[in-house]
Structure 1
Amino acid sequence: MPLYCDEELKRQPEFQDLEEALRTPEMVVRLRIYRHTDPAALARVAELKNLQSLSISLADVSQLLPRLDKMKNLQILHLQACNIPTFPESILSLSNLRSLSIGNSSLGALPEKISGLDKLEELSLSQNSLERIPQSIGRLTQLQRLGLSYNKLEELPESLGNLGALVWLFLDVNRLRQVPESIGELARLKSLSLNCNDLRTIPESICRLTSLERLSIERNPLESLPGCLSTMGIETISIEAEKRPLFMDWTYQPSDQPPRIALTDMKLFVEPASPFHAPLLAATESYGAGEFAPLILGLAREAVRIDSTVPDDYSRPGNSRLGGFPDLSDSELFPRDEEGRYWIFLAQLNLEDLASLNTYLPRAGLLSFFIESTESLKARVLFFEGDVRELKTIRHAGGEAMTDDTDDYTQSPYGVKFQRFVSLPHCPPEEMESGEAPDTYEKIRELSKGGDHYINGYTFTQHESPQEQAANELRGKPEEWVPLLQLGWDDKVGFCFWDAGTVTFTIHREDLRRGDFSRVHASLETS
């Protein structure tokens, strides 16, 4: 039987039952086995002489591995979670192998003879225990994809630069302290991923990678980076916002509007004169965490809690409101997409109602919050500074008239009440992550629990915070971004963003100082 190319191979039927495959062995070209419990029966796979693609997951392959050398036509071999601590010698005889994957299998080392598999185009050895890669890997000159993530690699061989056909290189979650200079020889490389290593820098030779489209270097203790990264035309560079200044100017540029308030007068965080300062200090001392008091007080935000109250009948123009329809000075201000569909209106805040509860928002006027959808998360915040009593409620038909009818909150508008509040991060700071400190922190955080909607509060997230996301997309440092409004689950209004998530509108503090709400960022955090 001739060897099939990729497209031809995909058109062949894939068997997923071993007994069925063994009944017609000459017909079997592709075989996928999942959770097979009989190693002796599995060893009979070697009888399938025409097999060209074999994928086995969560199975005992100990009796099959010694017989793999009999499968001369095998082009694709994928073994996942099969407990293979030693590289099988029999695989080295598979001279037609183009794709080899051994993942999550405790593999401890690669043999020098791996270079004999000179037709390999894809090699994936992620989620193993590899500590080194042999120099001989540089002889796999047809290799296009190399995956070595989730291992224990501390260094890479210089011969890596000989892989001239390489397009994708994945090295996440290792212990790499440096990247070889030879990486600059990979002229066809489009994607390089180095997240979660111990890199202080990457070599200047990366400037020669003119085909590079994506570079991921997050979660490394980086101290310097080649300046060429900002001029190479790389489409996506994934790195923490606070580290972008290592290779480019990432300063946020506000508008030319003059500031309305000094930074020191904004009081975004709890200060000694705040009514929350003494209770927080007393709580840290009563729980034996006095040494952490400056840390906790430095994190505490001067927030405003928002609670939905009673249905809003639109009788008071400019009323603070969740859901329903907005009050605007002109119907043309209601954001729409290119097809004329209305964006999702979420809330409007009468700033005069909030004036006595904060020092960072404008003293009067109306803020109206919209998103295009919970998929795109394009945001629009309108700031009306005139007499809110002159505004008119702008309605539409709802449902199909909207960009996303699954987030139609037009039927249940609710008024709100505001309460001055203190907000602490949901997770303890790094300094309080050991011993009894996390439990102590959770007790202190009782002072900031309750409610689902906030102004200037912390949002629970399992990944990047809303401020980090805003800084990554719109420049500046995460600490310069302010959580302007957070909206969570609300059964009265009907708010349920994905899996009871939280929509957060974030604004740069320089824009907030200027009363400029034209560049607000929106994000959605959900479990």
Structure 2
Amino acid sequence: MIKYEIPGLLKKHENLIKGTFRYSNEISFKREETKPWDSKLGGCPYLKSVEEYPTDEAGEPMLFLAQINMADLENLAELPEKGLLQFYVANTDLFGLEDPVLVKYIEDYEENEEHIVKKHPYENEEYKGNLPFSDSGKMYFKTREMPMSSSLDLFQEIFANKLSEAEYEKLSEDCYSSDSRVGGYPYFVQNDYIGFDDDDFLLLQLDIDEECGIMFGDSGNCVFSIPKDALKNRDFSKVVYDWQCC
């Protein structure tokens, strides 16, 4: 597990900082073949039939960004213990930013490729060119214990008036929370427009990655979050999606 060691300058604020700790599962990617039920970036999602593939409000096939197999994750009690979570956005120039997104939860799935769609039904060259990554790949996870991201409005509310200027600057540098992950805290390139707080859960952050060429706009990333109450009720219609770039 990756742990945050509180530096000497901030030791007197240890309890305050530790009070914000959350577990995350940090994602690394490898360009390799995946099974239909694997945790993956792009490629073909788990589908029993082509007709199951999601479409947007105009009836056009959506972009499949990622799939998470719950069995691959650790220390994230808020999530279901089993099943697949799939992330789709509208196929637009803005990667679906101004359109409804779909996060689909499949509780039960079978590990039998004979009865599953093996090839993405809409993955032609135009489709691939509209994706925010150049290559699909398999996801690997490593657990991290992380303090609150300094890009959140809540970070400033908690720490700004309790730390000296030097302490606040040091903690802000340490809590630069880029990289891809499930759980923990998001990193916002510009501003915390969605107002991520203690009652929200980070379902997925996809950040710049060289292995699979991930990039939203100019050095940007994307965030999928959900209120914890909605997550508890498996109501993924409440997911909030945002992507920002420099």
Same fold, TM-score > 0.5, yes or no:
yes
Q: Is the 8 A contact 1:305 1:419 kept in 2?
A: yes
1:338, CA displacement in angstroms? 4.8
TM-score where L is the length of structure 1: 0.40
Q: Is the 8 A contact 1:467 1:479 kept in 2?
A: no
1:389 to 111, 123, 134: 111
Q: Is 1:417 the counterpart of 2:135 in the alignment?
A: no
Q: Pick the structure with greater CA Rg.
A: 1
Pairing 1:114-263 to 2, within 5 Å after superposition: none
1:318, CA displacement in angstroms? 0.3
Pairing 1:42-81 to 2, within 5 Å after superposition: none
1:292, CA displacement in angstroms? 1.5
Q: Which residue of 1 aligns with 2:150?
A: 426
Amino-acid identity (%): 24
1:433, CA displacement in angstroms? 5.6
> Residues 130-183 of structure 1, C-alpha deviation per residue, up to 9 Å, x if partnerless?
xxxxxxxxxxxxxxxxxxxxxxxxxxxxxxxxxxxxxxxxxxxxxxxxxxxxxx
Q: Residue 464 and residue 435 in structure 1: after superposition, are their counterparts in 2 closer, same or farther (change >3 A)?
A: closer
CA–CA separation in structure 2 for the residues paired with 1:366 and 1:413:
17
CA–CA separation in structure 1 for the residues paired with 2:150 and 2:40:
27
Q: Is 1:516 the counterpart of 2:246 in the alignment?
A: no
1:437 to 145, 150, 167: 167
CA–CA separation in structure 2 for the residues paired with 1:336 and 1:358:
30
1:460 to 179, 187, 196: 187
Q: Residue 369 and residue 436 in structure 1: after superposition, are their counterparts in 2 closer, same or farther (change >3 A)?
A: same
> Residues 270-299 of structure 1, C-alpha deviation per residue, up to 9 Å, x if partnerless?
xxxxx77xx65xx43x51423322221122
5+ residue gaps in structure 2? none
How many equivalent pairs are there? 230
Pairing 1:313-392 to 2, within 5 Å after superposition: 314=34, 316-354=35-73, 356-372=74-90, 373=92, 374=95, 375-390=97-112, 391-392=116-117
Q: Which has the higher contact order (CA 8 A, sep 6+)?
A: 2
Tell me the secondary structure at the aligned position of residue 441 of structure 1. helix
Q: Is the 8 A contact 1:325 1:413 kept in 2?
A: no
CA–CA separation in structure 1 for the residues paired with 2:183 and 2:15:
20
Q: Residue 499 and residue 432 in structure 1: after superposition, are their counterparts in 2 closer, same or farther (change >3 A)?
A: farther
Q: Is 1:303 the counterpart of 2:28 in the alignment?
A: no
1:367, CA displacement in angstroms? 0.6
1:439, CA displacement in angstroms? 3.9
1:417, CA displacement in angstroms? 0.8
Structure with greater helix percent = 1
TM-score where L is the length of structure 2: 0.80
Amino acid at match of 1:407: L
CA–CA separation in structure 1 for the residues paired with 2:110 and 2:146:
30
Structure with greater strand percent = 2
5+ residue gaps in structure 1? 1-274, 469-477
Amino acid at match of 1:480: D
Q: Is the 8 A contact 2:36 2:44 kept in 1?
A: no
1:483, CA displacement in angstroms? 1.4
Tell me the secondary structure at the aligned position of residue 496 of structure 1. coil
CA–CA separation in structure 2 for the residues paired with 1:421 and 1:522:
23
Give the alignment's Cα RMSD to 1 decimal. 2.8
Tell me the secondary structure at the aligned position of residue 392 of structure 1. coil
